[in-house]
Amino acid sequence: MDNKPTFPATKPQTLGILGAGVWGRTLGQLVSQNGHRVEYWSRSGDRSLEEVVTGANILLSAVSMKGVASVLSQVKAIGLGTDTIIVTATKGLDPQTTCTAAQLWQRAFRDRPVVVLAGPNLSKEIQQGLPAATVVASNDESAASLVQEVFSSSNFRVYTNPDPLGVELGGTLKNVMAIASGVCDGLQLGTNAKAALLTRGLTEIIRIGTHWGAQMETFYGLSGLGDLLATCNSPLSRNYQVGYQLAQGKTLAEILPDLEGTAEGVNTTQVLIQRAKTLEISVPISYQVHQLLEGQITPKDAVEALMLRDIKPE
């Protein structure tokens, strides 16, 4: 007997995708292939935000972090249908509040389900139809299940998770480590150094994330360890590219204009350091990335500073 599931498992839905950048378009491609209707809104497009928002029963934001506060206040002014599910695929931190994107959406729409979508998802591979897996996390189990059904296909395996904060922080904080990892490869520090960086990087992510209120085990899943491995090992990652080029001696001002899309880790590092200082959380790797991005130290100085810290138990 053939036990293979058939996709799509749910009746056609209408998705409004806010932010028609690389990731918004890739996610739109996945759901269109599953037979769902997709309407895009972007600030430079010709569709009105009102049209896209009012027509959608699932509203997905793939706007980069710097645009989230402004876009959600425009959506708030328009209003959402009573059954609308909000999905956020942004991986960043808000400089004003240090909140994640989902926290901002949930504050603005307290009575609506908010679902976080995050995982090891390099868009170029997904666009090529290569297999990938992701996580949809929410406090609202039925909203997460519907979004799981909408996105699941033979190329894209979707898991639900009840810890949206942990899932979102895994995807967000690994961008800082991806910059460090690009530096590590750019300086040709070798496989031992890379393994040490990723392992201690995960420890740092867990220290921050659990202090924030996320569950430790979430960080060992796809959106934590999974996304850390993908992003820190792939030249397709824009954050990795930033680190790699810094190691080649380029400045941030020279690197950023030529990147395809947004490297959220640059902004995330700043916000993270602000939060870690206020809450007195030790983040040695993120601190060195911050100093490097600020132009205060060279990549070699950053490595030396990490290696020469006080010795301590693991």
Ligand X SMILES: O=P(O)(O)OC[C@H](O)CO
Ligand Y SMILES: NC(=O)c1ccc[n+]([C@@H]2O[C@H](COP(=O)([O-])OP(=O)(O)OC[C@H]3O[C@@H](n4cnc5c(N)ncnc54)[C@H](O)[C@@H]3O)[C@@H](O)[C@H]2O)c1
Q: Which of the residues are catalytic?
A: 174
**Is the peptide bond prior to 8 cis by the omega test (within 30 degrees of 0)?**
yes
Tokens representing 304 are 């030396």
Please, which residue, 80 or 289, has the CB nearer to ligand X? 289
CB of 301 to ligand Y, least distance (A): 28
Is 3 marked as binding a ligand?
no
**Contact characters 204-243, ligand Y, x per CB under 6 A:** ----------------------------------------
> For strand 58-61 and strand 37-41, is the pairing parallel, antiparallel, or unpaired?
unpaired
Contact status, residue 167 vs residue 147, Cβ threshold 8 Å: no
Q: Which of 30, 52, 65, 276 binds ligand Y (CB under 6 A)?
A: 65
Is 42 marked as binding a ligand?
no
Integer CA distances (angstroms), 187 to 123, 193, 249, 293, in order: 26, 11, 10, 16
The amino acid occupying position 266 is V
Count of Cβ atoms closer than 10 Å to residue 314 Cβ: 5
Is 277 marked as binding a ligand?
no
- Cα(88)–Cα(105) distance, rounded to whole angstroms? 8
20 binds, among ligand X, ligand Y, none (CB under 5 to 8 A by kind): ligand Y
Tokens representing 49 are 């935000």
Contact status, residue 191 vs residue 208, Cβ threshold 8 Å: no
CB of 128 to ligand Y, least distance (A): 12
Is 312 marked as binding a ligand?
no
89 binds, among ligand Y, ligand X, none (CB under 5 to 8 A by kind): ligand Y
Q: Which of 88, 90, 161, 181 binds ligand Y (CB under 6 A)?
A: 90
CA 74 to chain centre: 22
Task: Work out whether 17 is an interface residue with ligand Y (CB under 6 A).
Answer: no
- Cα(217)–Cα(89) distance, rounded to whole angstroms? 21
Please, which residue, 26 or 84, has the CB nearer to ligand X? 26
178 binds, among ligand Y, ligand X, none (CB under 5 to 8 A by kind): ligand X
112 binds, among ligand X, ligand Y, none (CB under 5 to 8 A by kind): none
User: What sign results for the dihedral spanned by CA atoms 247, 249, 251, 256?
Assistant: negative
**Contact characters 264-293, ligand Y, x per CB under 6 A:** x-----------------------------
> For strand 14-18 and strand 58-61, is the pairing parallel, antiparallel, or unpaired?
parallel
- Cα(118)–Cα(112) distance, rounded to whole angstroms? 19
Is 125 marked as binding a ligand?
no
Q: Which of 13, 84, 106, 123 binds ligand Y (CB under 6 A)?
A: 123
- Binding site for NADPH, residues? 23, 43, 91, 123, 238, 264
Residues that bind ligand Y (CB under 6 A): 19-24, 42-43, 62-67, 70-71, 89-92, 121-123, 261-262, 264
